[in-house]
Structure 1
Amino acid sequence: MKCALPRRALRALSLATAVLACCTAASAAAETTIGIANFGPHPALARTIAGFKDEMTKAGYVDGKTVHYVYSDANFTPGLIPQTLAQIVSQKPALILTVTTPVAQASVRNVSDRSIPLVFSQVTNPVAAGLVPDWQHGSDRIVGSASVTDYDAVLSFAKKVFPQAKSFGVLYNAGEVNDVAAIDSLKTAAAKAGLKMLATSVDSTIDVPQRTGTMKGADFFYAIGSNLVQSSLPAVASVTDRMKMPILSAEHELIRKGNIIAVAYAPSYESQGAHAAQLALQLLKGVKPSSLAIYRPQPSDYLALINRQKLAQLGMAVPASFEKCQCFVN
């Protein structure tokens, strides 16, 4: 048996359905899709992405309400990056955040839709990486927030933490362009700071303990943001501990996890993501990447972390000027 509705009720129902469909369409249209292409799952990179999202939220891009994030990573496999980007592009994003140098480089090559603006983060030197023409301008495709280190600021901080220091040791991979560039900049900063730098090249992790041992007499060891050096820090510490030499790291991760690093000083990952978001907001408004400058970390972006237990084990005290810094991991 069929139940017939009055003609007036049918008209009202049709109107309500139309209004609901219109509102739903408007809601879908208001939601912006933003892609996030990451090299792989890692706590530091996750904090960069969190900083990006937090800054976007402040600007009204609320996850699940006004913005939909499409995330994909290559599990640290360079050959999978094109596939990662293709998955994101298929969702028709309004913008793509690329995290790390390899992903940023691949995005310029592989994202053929030039209407999709690209913004990078966690790229040490975008000029040397061929992403942008100079530090004052993005390219016609991409702009972003660099993670380049201000070595003048680092060594100024080091002299405050280690006030008696006259020299420091550093390892680097001579076969890595970024490492060589870092050493050149660090050498200039060391001369300005009045510190002697003992730099030693290392080709593989196997050589790390022996090469570290050649730095006997240095007042501290500075671990640059090198893949080889950072992954070898437990081996470095096995030697520097015997020499009562503290490690100052350009990365924060290891100092949070254990009792290897004495001090870490570097731009926070969250700030790097936040500054990438500020550039992304300009791109979403239609500003061209080439009209924006690359963001370089400022002193306010740097985060200091100090392991008091490690310093005590090495027979060192925390300078009085740091006692109230709220920068201790234990």
Structure 2
Amino acid sequence: MLGKLLGRLVAGTALVASCAAGAQEPVVVGIANFGPHPALDQSVSGFKQELARLGYVDGKNVRFVYSDANFTPAMIPQILNQIEANKPSVILTVTTPVSQAAITSVSDKRIPLVFVLISDPVAAGLVPNWNQGGPRFVGSASAMDYDAVLEFARQIFPDAKKFGVLYAPGEANDVVAMKSIEGAAKRAGLALQAVSVDSAIDVQQRTQMLSGVDFVYAIGSSLVQSSMPALASVTDRYRIPILSAETELIKKGVVAVSYAASYQVQGAHAARLAAELLKGRKTTDLAPIKPGRKDYAALISRKKFAQLGKPVPAAFEHCNCFVD
């Protein structure tokens, strides 16, 4: 009897040991962000939510390692090194500066990299073309359809003849965006006044150069979007509405209208690519994803239009796009 009991105990112990040995550690997914900002945070949130939908649930079979550079370029290599030290199976890089730095800062070339919120990954040197991922990178591009943006601008600002744009010449995304906007402006029959900004300190002064425009289009620039309150403090004085490529600040009364591809959806696109890489596919097996028109949405602030003394066109009165 005692022998049978000992036999069962040994067998039970062996079973527990076997289960423990077979238990898998959670997959580590790194997230390297340029800094805390509503737009960037939405993409990270969309990335995590879509991974969970695909079966990679935080705290169960996946562990996220997050770090950001607080919008300080010199800190980017450091945060990437911290993430790499956790031996991630894939790393999400948010914005162009972080993604470009990852090529040299992430020394283990076996770790696949997924970018998000990059206007042109080809120009940024991350992928060879729009049909194939690079040897280390694939991702979700935020390439805007500026013809669609300005078509919308003509509808929401029907009397507009001229618009202004601030951009950072040191950011690859901004340079690419401006080339596309110039062409779209000509096709839309709108005059464009572009003003370069080198740092956040310059924003208020440079925005004054746009005093004669009918609206300002705030592109999805890290520098411009992080300085939106300063930009709006000037445009409000001139009663110039802002059309933004970022959706969060309209809810805070900073801008009058936004029209953009959802940052959350862009993060979800990146998650689908990351899931394929976690299954063993290579970055070169996949292609970058661009947002389609179905991913775009408009938000309008009646309160801001009234504050600026501008009417909301009657064509929008029944749209499901007002935030107030």
TM-score normalised to structure 1 length: 0.87
Is 2:276 the counterpart of 1:282?
yes
- Residues 170-200 of structure 1 deviation map (CA, whole Å, 9 limit, x = unaligned): 2334454433332221111011112222223
TM-score normalised to structure 2 length: 0.89
Is 2:13 the counterpart of 1:6?
no
Please report how far the alpha carbon of residue 245 of structure 1 lies from its aligned counterpart in structure 2 after TM superposition. Answer: 1.9
Please report how far the alpha carbon of residue 301 of structure 1 lies from its aligned counterpart in structure 2 after TM superposition. Answer: 1.8
Please report how far the alpha carbon of residue 205 of structure 1 lies from its aligned counterpart in structure 2 after TM superposition. Answer: 5.2
SS of 2:240's partner is coil
Is 2:311 the counterpart of 1:317?
yes
Instruction: Single out whichever of 137-146 and 70-79 deviates more from structure 2.
Output: 70-79
- Residues 267-292 of structure 1 deviation map (CA, whole Å, 9 limit, x = unaligned): 22211110001111222222221232
Q: Would you say the 8 A contact 2:207–2:231 is kept in 1?
A: yes
For residues 49-60 of structure 1, the aligned pairs below 5 Å read 49-60=44-55
Equivalent of 1:45 in 25, 40, 63: 40
Equivalent of 1:187 in 179, 182, 190: 182
**Separation (CA, whole Å) in 2 of partners of 1:236 and 1:91:** 39
Counterpart residue number, 2:291:
297
Instruction: Single out whichever of 275-284 and 90-99 deviates more from structure 2.
Output: 90-99
Is 2:57 the counterpart of 1:62?
yes
Q: Any gaps of 5 or more consecutive residues in structure 2?
A: none
Counterpart residue number, 1:156:
151
Please report how far the alpha carbon of residue 161 of structure 1 lies from its aligned counterpart in structure 2 after TM superposition. Answer: 1.3
| Change in CA separation of 1:293 and 1:268 when aligned onto 2, cut-off 3 Å | same
Equivalent of 1:266 in 257, 260, 268: 260
Max Rg structure: 1
Please report how far the alpha carbon of residue 202 of structure 1 lies from its aligned counterpart in structure 2 after TM superposition. Answer: 4.3
SS of 2:21's partner is helix
> What CA RMSD, in Å, does the superposition of the two structures yield over aligned residues?
2.5
Counterpart residue number, 1:73:
68
**Separation (CA, whole Å) in 1 of partners of 2:300 and 2:218:** 15
**Separation (CA, whole Å) in 2 of partners of 1:204 and 1:94:** 35
Please report how far the alpha carbon of residue 65 of structure 1 lies from its aligned counterpart in structure 2 after TM superposition. Answer: 1.8
SS of 2:59's partner is coil
Is 2:72 the counterpart of 1:111?
no
Ranges of 4+ aligned residues in structure 1 off by more than 4 Å: 174-177, 202-211
Q: Any gaps of 5 or more consecutive residues in structure 1?
A: none
**Separation (CA, whole Å) in 2 of partners of 1:39 and 1:306:** 28
Equivalent of 2:16 in 14, 20, 23: 20
Please report how far the alpha carbon of residue 119 of structure 1 lies from its aligned counterpart in structure 2 after TM superposition. Answer: 1.0
Please report how far the alpha carbon of residue 248 of structure 1 lies from its aligned counterpart in structure 2 after TM superposition. Answer: 0.7
Instruction: Single out whichever of 275-284 and 208-217 deviates more from structure 2.
Output: 208-217
Please report how far the alpha carbon of residue 305 of structure 1 lies from its aligned counterpart in structure 2 after TM superposition. Answer: 1.8
For residues 95-110 of structure 1, the aligned pairs below 5 Å read 95-110=90-105
Counterpart residue number, 1:124:
119
Q: Would you say the 8 A contact 2:96–2:172 is kept in 1?
A: no
**Separation (CA, whole Å) in 1 of partners of 2:160 and 2:116:** 34
Q: Would you say the 8 A contact 2:29–2:63 is kept in 1?
A: yes
Instruction: Single out whichever of 233-242 and 8-17 deviates more from structure 2.
Output: 233-242
SS of 2:64's partner is strand
Instruction: Single out whichever of 188-197 and 74-83 deviates more from structure 2.
Output: 74-83
Please report how far the alpha carbon of residue 127 of structure 1 lies from its aligned counterpart in structure 2 after TM superposition. Answer: 1.8
Q: How many residues align?
A: 324
- Residues 299-328 of structure 1 deviation map (CA, whole Å, 9 limit, x = unaligned): 122232211101012222323333343322
Report the identity percentage: 60
